[in-house]
Structure 1
Amino acid sequence: MKTTLFFRSLANTFLLLLLASLTVNGQENFSEFSGKVVDGKSNNELEAVSLNINETNISTITNSEGEFVLKVPNAYLDSKVIISFLGYNTRVIPLSELSKTGNTIEIFKAVTELSEVNISAFKTAESLIRKVFEKRDKTHQNESVYMTAFYRETIKRRNRNVSLTEAVVNILKYPNRSSVADAIALNKARKSTDYKRLDTVSVKLQGGPFSTIYLDIMKYPEYIFTDATINSYNFSFDTPSNINNRNVYVVNFSPKNNALNYSYNGKLFIDVESLALVSADYTLDLSNKSRSKNLLVKKKPSNVIVYPLEANYKVNYKEKEGKWYYSYSNLFLKFKVNKKRELFNKVYSLSSEMAVTDWEINTTDRKIKGKNRLRPSVIITDAISGFSDPDFWGEYNLIEPDKSIESAIEKIKKSIEKQKANEERAMSGTP
């Protein structure tokens, strides 16, 4: 009998398997532009670069190979696309100058110089961080916002992709100071899973859109910094950076001691002018192996020990008319699973990312109704469909799949088809 492990990510514990929908727009009222973004000096591909249509909230990001696909409503074809990335000068290009395919966009690293007044404005890096969290209701989202986002989740056993989930979701984000939790509704999704690769231990890794939305530490600071835990960290200034041609403080943080059950190491990027958090990049401290054993596990069989090997998190915000809004987050979790009386251990990893591709202030008091609202603990029937349809997403913006993901999809599909064929032959008695 297969056993089941339940892993917990940064925030709450939950499972989410997404049900595919095959609704496709029959008429295209958008134009598609594709290409890649590279460092103008080294020619290296740049991951998670933001491409935004000027004076709109329509955007996408590049994948790990620097590639992008941007779908633009035809009404905005006279607009410009703004290309921005932390540490680089922002570039603005008219859409009329882009080809439909094969674009290579170069951006260059920014040289950042902060005056002595800026540097000495805070006695310590800790006092700056405290100010950031005190001001979050003034600098970040303070109204209800309705978002459209693209979500991707990849589960691997060692280096082999065994489960791939993609979804377009609608998010109703409430003000940061609101006690109301954000709501998520599934718009459309597709999933492909090779369960044979999850053989002796059937793994259900905690994932889904909630795992990435909880990385919004301006909305959910309790998962990393509180008034009580902030004293348990050391903070120090690093070399300043730049985003959207704005100067950014860079603050390193690390735990002072082992007093916390969960502690992190990382960097915080803070806009100099507004003191808004622009980005956070951090990892879970796993240096104490005896203490981290089974740390992220909600439930497991007694004969199984789970060691977390890596836990990395990232969140980005985007500025609009003086306010900063959640725009992108990702997490990477890696585990080693030891089972008694088995010679070899198993290594599983979960990678999840979500990018907001459009949003609007919720002036009409739009709600996500109970029957459509996803619960953090929900398990929805797994369905394998959609990956064979090149027009599955229609006009929705998405994160362009990596080459490795595309090849994994084909391998998983072939494995599933072969397994089904064998089952059909067995049922029919055909040798």
Structure 2
Amino acid sequence: MKKRADFFKKSRAGLVLFLFILGFAAPLGATDLHGLSNGAEYNEYKGKVVNSRTGDPVASAYLVVDNTNLSSVTNSDGEFSLKVPVDMLEATVTVSYLGYQSKSLPLSYFKESGTRIELDESVQELDEVALFTSTNAYSLVKKMLKKRGENYLNDQTLMTAFYRETIQKGRRNISLSEAVAEVYKQPNRSAKKDDVALIKARKSTDYKRLDTVALKLRGGPYNTLYIDVMKYPEFLFDENSLDNFKFSFNKPTRINDQYLYVVDFEEINRNLPWYYGKLFIDAESLTLVKATYSLNVDNRKAAGDIFVSKKPSGVKVYPVEVNYRVDYRKADGKWYYGYGNAQLEFVVNWKRKIFNSRYKVNSEMAVTDWKNTSEDKIKKDKSFIKPSVVMVDDVSGFADVDFWGSNNIIEPEKSIQNAIEKIQRKLEREED
């Protein structure tokens, strides 16, 4: 547990509280680290992925242009934006999500806006599939960890990724930071840590003058990278710490053409905050395809000590919900980190106030393109960030609506987009 506490504190996955005396944050700036858009030599397609039976949006569905590394992810409203080079008009796009039958569609099916994609739920009974031969969940997880070096990309990889970080107070969005990043992803068996450079970034923050506390997430994109349990297993469990957990089989499932074991796990020692969750393991290759896990934070004092790095006197701050998710993608027979998400909810309780405040922090990263790189030593410039970065403080913003260029991003949720428009109007009024 000490290693885990050190991870959250020293690896900058905790939260920092500061007294906030100033009014609004500075208006959106315009200092580009690597230059602006690289030209409009692409077509952009927008639409929505829904459940074919109910019409409900399918969040975090994966869209990939076949035979390429180009991809995107739907937002919580099921909406997507996919940018494809103009010379790829004959391409095919595959849309998939766990628990649904994948669907391949010609690019000609997609429109500039209003594309509707319906996914059918998977209803096949999987209990009798011959691939499911493991009878011991503990042994299966151990084999999965032993194969993490051979099942995943084993070269240094340069990934293009989109990162988004939102902070809510109650139901009101008060901060949004977004960035296109270059991630220098190291092989799973390498002791080297991943590096991140921000290529494009923007932010907008709306702290009321009467607010006395501003909640800030320290770590930025690194928070979503450290969720990669195949690269950083020591922060959840590794081959040497499995005895600290209980593992059991849940009902198996399928994603695309892969049959998956579903393994539930929970930590045995519950004196301090403890982990529990699900592992989705490919039945044939024993590869971890997806993991969803949470930290039980019923022990408020211990949880607060782990996550809260600094706070004003006279206030109690503690997490009430901590959830993580990581998805892996497959290309050329190898798997790689594709999506990471961290959701945290905190209570701020002032000593002499009747009502407390609730903050929700959501950070997510989606890999939208990647290529192998042979660079042994990375030449770092000012675009590289440290794991201690605070996005709302340390990143310059951009107001150019065409700023993202050909980079694939996650469509903003309606509530976030509306909040940002309100923030910008307030900033404009403040300047008048």
Q: 2:339, 2:243 → 1: CA distance?
A: 28
Specify whether residues 117 and 385 from structure 1 end up closer, same or farther in structure 2 by C-alpha distance, changes over 3 A only. closer
Letter in 1 for 2:364: E
Backbone CA RMSD of aligned residues:
2.4
Specify whether residues 262 and 175 from structure 1 end up closer, same or farther in structure 2 by C-alpha distance, changes over 3 A only. farther
Residues 336-375 of structure 1: per-residue CA shift (max 9 Å, x gap):
0122233332211110011000001114557351543211
Does the aligned pair in 1 maintain the 2:38–2:406 contact within 8 Å?
A: no
Q: Aligned residues, how many?
A: 411
Q: 2:227, 2:169 → 1: CA distance?
A: 24
Matched with 1:109 is 121
1:375 counterpart = 2:386: yes
Q: In the TM superposition, what is the alpha-carbon distance from 1:92 to its structure 2 partner?
A: 0.7
- Which of residues 20, 45, 70 is equivalent to 1:33? 45
TM-score, structure 1 length as denominator?
A: 0.89
- Which of residues 37, 41, 62 is equivalent to 1:50? 62
Matched with 2:4 is none
Q: 1:19, 1:98 → 2: CA distance?
A: 34
SS in 1 for 2:224: helix
1:80 counterpart = 2:79: no
Q: 2:10, 2:288 → 1: CA distance?
A: 20
Q: 2:288, 2:203 → 1: CA distance?
A: 34
Does the aligned pair in 1 maintain the 2:145–2:239 contact within 8 Å?
A: no
Matched with 1:310 is 321
- 1:196-345 correspondence to structure 2 within 5 Å: 196=208, 199-259=211-271, 261-345=272-356
1:118 counterpart = 2:119: no
Residues 356-414 of structure 1: per-residue CA shift (max 9 Å, x gap):
00001114557351543211124575567434x33121111000001101100011112
SS in 2 for 1:166: strand
Matched with 2:19 is none
Matched with 2:401 is 390
SS in 2 for 1:175: coil
SS in 1 for 2:164: strand
Q: In the TM superposition, what is the alpha-carbon distance from 1:195 to its structure 2 partner?
A: 2.2
Specify whether residues 26 and 233 from structure 1 end up closer, same or farther in structure 2 by C-alpha distance, changes over 3 A only. closer
Matched with 1:429 is none
Matched with 2:414 is 403
Letter in 2 for 1:99: K
TM-score, structure 2 length as denominator?
A: 0.89
Q: In the TM superposition, what is the alpha-carbon distance from 1:158 to its structure 2 partner?
A: 1.1
SS in 2 for 1:195: coil
Letter in 1 for 2:407: Y
SS in 2 for 1:275: coil
Q: 1:186, 1:419 → 2: CA distance?
A: 29
Structure 2: stretches of 5+ with no match in the other structure: 1-6, 17-24
More divergent stretch after superposition (279-288 vs 66-75) = 279-288
Letter in 1 for 2:269: N
Q: 1:277, 1:351 → 2: CA distance?
A: 23
Residues 162-197 of structure 1: per-residue CA shift (max 9 Å, x gap):
110110000000111111100000101000001227
Q: 1:298, 1:207 → 2: CA distance?
A: 12
Residues 122-175 of structure 1: per-residue CA shift (max 9 Å, x gap):
231111111111110011121100000001100111111111011000000011
Does the aligned pair in 2 maintain the 1:192–1:384 contact within 8 Å?
A: no
SS in 2 for 1:415: helix
Specify whether residues 264 and 379 from structure 1 end up closer, same or farther in structure 2 by C-alpha distance, changes over 3 A only. closer
Q: 2:61, 2:379 → 1: CA distance?
A: 30
- Which of residues 406, 419, 422 is equivalent to 2:430? 419
Structure 1: stretches of 5+ with no match in the other structure: 1-7, 422-431
More divergent stretch after superposition (360-369 vs 337-346) = 360-369
Letter in 2 for 1:367: I
User: How many percent of aligned residue pairs carry the same amino acid?
Assistant: 45
SS in 1 for 2:306: coil
Matched with 1:92 is 104
Q: 2:289, 2:336 → 1: CA distance?
A: 9
Q: 1:9, 1:420 → 2: CA distance?
A: 39
Q: 2:38, 2:306 → 1: CA distance?
A: 48
Matched with 2:141 is 129
Specify whether residues 368 and 244 from structure 1 end up closer, same or farther in structure 2 by C-alpha distance, changes over 3 A only. farther
Does the aligned pair in 2 maintain the 1:171–1:183 contact within 8 Å?
A: yes
Q: 1:11, 1:282 → 2: CA distance?
A: 21
Q: 1:404, 1:25 → 2: CA distance?
A: 26
Q: 1:234, 1:198 → 2: CA distance?
A: 47
